[in-house]
């Protein structure tokens, strides 16, 4: 009797609609709203400079993909979640290259190979670059950390759907091959 209780409790899998994935639902909804707000803010800045128009478009597209992830998590559909994961991973890769370029510029500035003027007059350029690189590294580490629950949510939904497809399939799951015989 004890083993039956252990089997039933160990085979239990928390549903994303339950409170186990509620923080991920809240996080994806929050990110979708924040990307939309950033898109609106960047489009307002785009009235003066055209560079912000590209940022506005990127934030808008990213917001749409995050909404797709949210709806895929809510409806337990992993196919809707895949584009959002791809966009998140590509964004992290691009941000990593930008961060690497910032650190490279900092090292070049230390050896007086490039010249840089600080946008804040009271801070030396070397200190500004160091603080900008450190803050960017911390933000990048947090954004990488946010990516792991996104992937875990996708993996959990995929596992649930694969299990449901496997049990619902009309194809026989057991092998009925016989042992080889001697002729």
Q: Over the stretch 130-175, which tens digit does the pLDDT of each residue have?
A: 999 999 999 999 989 988 888 888 898 899 888 888 887 776 556 6
Q: Residue 49 above 80 pLDDT?
A: yes
Structure tokens at 152: 């875990």
pLDDT confidence tier of residue 3, bands split at 50, 70 and 90: very low
Structure tokens at 25: 């639902």
Residue-range definition of the domain harbouring residue 130: 16-167
Domain count, the chain: 1
| 24 located within any domain | yes
| 9 located within any domain | no
66-84 pLDDT, tens per residue?
Answer: 899 888 888 888 899 999 9
**pLDDT > 90: percent of the chain:** 27
8 A C-beta contact, residue 135 and residue 127: no
Rounded CA separation 19/116 (Å): 50
User: DSSP string spanning 94-138?
Assistant: HHHHHHHHHHHHHHHHHTTSS----SSTTS-HHHHHHHHHHHHHH
| 180 located within any domain | no
Rounded CA separation 105/133 (Å): 10
State pTM to two decimals.
Answer: 0.71
Q: Residue 90 above 90 pLDDT?
A: yes
| 80 located within any domain | yes
């Amino acid at each position: 009797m004890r083993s039956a209780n252990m089997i039933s409790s160990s085979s239990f899998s928390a549903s994303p609609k339950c409170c186990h994935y509620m923080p991920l639902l809240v996080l994806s909804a929050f990110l979708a709203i924040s990307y939309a707000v950033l898109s609106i803010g960047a489009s307002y800045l785009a009235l003066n400079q055209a560079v912000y128009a590209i940022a506005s478009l990127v934030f808008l597209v990213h917001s749409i993909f995050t909404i797709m992830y949210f709806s895929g998590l809510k409806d337990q559909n992993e196919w809707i979640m895949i584009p959002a994961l791809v966009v998140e991973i590509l964004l992290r890769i691009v941000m990593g290259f930008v961060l690497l370029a910032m650190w490279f510029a900092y090292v070049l500035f230390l050896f007086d190979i490039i010249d840089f003027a600080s946008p804040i007059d009271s801070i030396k350029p070397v200190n500004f670059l160091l603080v900008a690189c450190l803050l960017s590294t911390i933000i990048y580490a947090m954004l990488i950390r946010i990516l792991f629950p996104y992937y875990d949510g996708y993996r959990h939904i995929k596992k649930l759907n694969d299990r449901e497809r496997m049990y619902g399939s009309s194809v026989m799951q057991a092998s009925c091959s016989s042992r080889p015989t001697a002729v």
